A = this chain, B = another copy of it.
């Protein structure tokens, strides 16, 4: 397929990514989990968090010793539906996959389940975990602590975390509801894209060190919390940032972003949850009601020139359908994979 259309087969990309990870010492099972989630990310259209990071984040961090390839992950559970997973500085993807499955297993039995994860590393895109709940007819929740990047209202510089929260809720025929949001006005990746393309920043995204609006990417001292200014709701974005930090970090026994004095590449804590639909009503009835909900939102009166009101998850569904036939990676990403293959001495067959 890739030869005729210039598209990359997702299956081959997964195999390649798993081989690369195994080559730097990741056990086969963990390499397959991580590779699967990375390619799922690209399939969902989240280009910033998929295989684009394979070489410069995960392989690089493993080689630098910042991620352990043979972690001793331990789950401590003090109630039937809750517990803490200590990820022992292993791959965040493996920790996330295991913790999300654990939360779902608890939810299967009791109706709900929550696992907070400490001593983990960068887990990629939050919605690859929350959406694991969809096929089990559950509501999925995933959150992660991000690096320093947001300015607290009244603060100066990037003191608080670019934290992320995601909720996924199943439907019958409509696109599943998938919310995946950084608690800042924009994710850090948007600033990086502006830097790469030489675009100015829209006012309201970020501030300079002196507290005035940053208009160029290299002036950014910190991103504003969702809402932007206090009069436009910055305390809400700030509150969500702190909430995610507490659930991921304080509740897991870790440190919140402002408590971290020596940040290490990729270090992170997470929070996962699952709520079983059948504990409220039959999942089939619920999913039909979700379709009716989506239709009602679609049928809202539209502003002139607007064709459709798009619910969170609809773009992800469309991208996944399109891309399952083959992925078109950015030339820089392809180059990073070609170089990675050379560096590790594995075959580049994409």
A interface with B by C-beta (< 8 Å):
77-84, 110-114, 116, 139, 152-157, 159-160, 167, 169, 177, 179, 181, 185-186, 202, 204-205, 211, 226-228, 231-233, 235-240, 242-243, 245-247, 249-253, 256, 258-259, 275-281, 286, 289-290, 292-293, 296-297, 299-304, 306, 308-312
Minimum-distance CB pairs A-B, first 10: A79-B111, A79-B279, A82-B279, A258-B296, A81-B111, A82-B111, A154-B306, A159-B300, A179-B239, A239-B312
CB neighbours of A293 from chain B (8 A): 245-246, 249-250, 256, 258-259
Q: How far is the CA of A156 from the CA of B300 in the complex (A)?
A: 8
CA distance A309 to B235 in the complex (A): 11
**With known contacts A156-B303, A226-B227, A243–B179 Cβ distance under 8 A:** yes
Q: Is A202's CB under 8 angstroms from B232's CB?
A: yes
- Nearest-CB distance from A200 to chain B (Å)? 12
* A253 closest partner in B (C-beta): B281
Residue contact B233 to A185, C-beta cutoff 8 Å: yes
Copies in the complex: 2
Q: What is the CB-to-nearest-CB distance from A249 to chain B, in angstroms, rounded to a whole number?
A: 8
7 more A-B contacts (CB under 8 A) besides A139-B251, A155-B302, A258-B297? A80-B110, A82-B279, A112-B112, A156-B303, A226-B237, A251-B286, A252-B280
Which residues of chain B are within 8 angstroms of A250 by Cβ–Cβ distance? 286, 289-290, 293
Q: For the complex, what is the distance from the CA of A153 to the CA of B237, rounded to whole Å? A: 18
| Chain B contacts for A231, CB-based, 8 A | 202, 204
Q: List 25 A-B contacts (CB under 8 A).
A: A77-B279, A81-B81, A81-B110, A112-B113, A152-B297, A154-B310, A155-B301, A155-B306, A159-B300, A177-B246, A179-B239, A179-B240, A179-B242, A181-B233, A202-B231, A226-B227, A226-B237, A233-B237, A245-B293, A253-B281, A253-B289, A256-B293, A258-B297, A259-B292, A259-B293
Chain B residues closer than 8 Å to A240, beta-carbon distance? 179
Report if A296-B82 is in contact (Cβ < 8 Å); known contacts: A250-B286, A250-B290. Answer: no
**Which B residues touch A300, using CB under 8 A?**
152, 155-156, 159-160, 258
| A211–chain B nearest beta-carbon distance, Å | 5
If A79-B278, A179-B243, A243-B167 touch, does A303 touch B114 (CB 8 Å cutoff)?
no
Contact B110–A79 (Cβ < 8 Å):
yes
Q: Which residues of B contact A297 (CB under 8 A)?
A: 152, 160, 242, 256, 258
Would you call B154 and A246 a contact (CB within 8 A)?
no
> Whose C-beta in chain B lies nearest to the C-beta of A285?
B253
CA distance A293 to B302 in the complex (A): 44
What's the nearest-Cβ distance from chain B to residue A259, in Å? 4
A278 touches B246 (CB 8 A): no
Closest to A307 in B: B154
Contacts of A228 in B (CB 8 A): 228, 232
Q: Which of A116, A243, A299 has the most CB of B within 10 A?
A: A243
Contacts of A252 in B (CB 8 A): 280
Residues of B within 8 A of A309 (CB): 152-155
Asked if residues A279 and B78 are in contact (CB atoms below 8 Å), the reply is yes
Report B-chain residues with C-beta under 8 Å of the C-beta of A227.
185, 226-227, 233
Which residue of chain B is the closest to A298 with respect to CB atoms?
A: B258
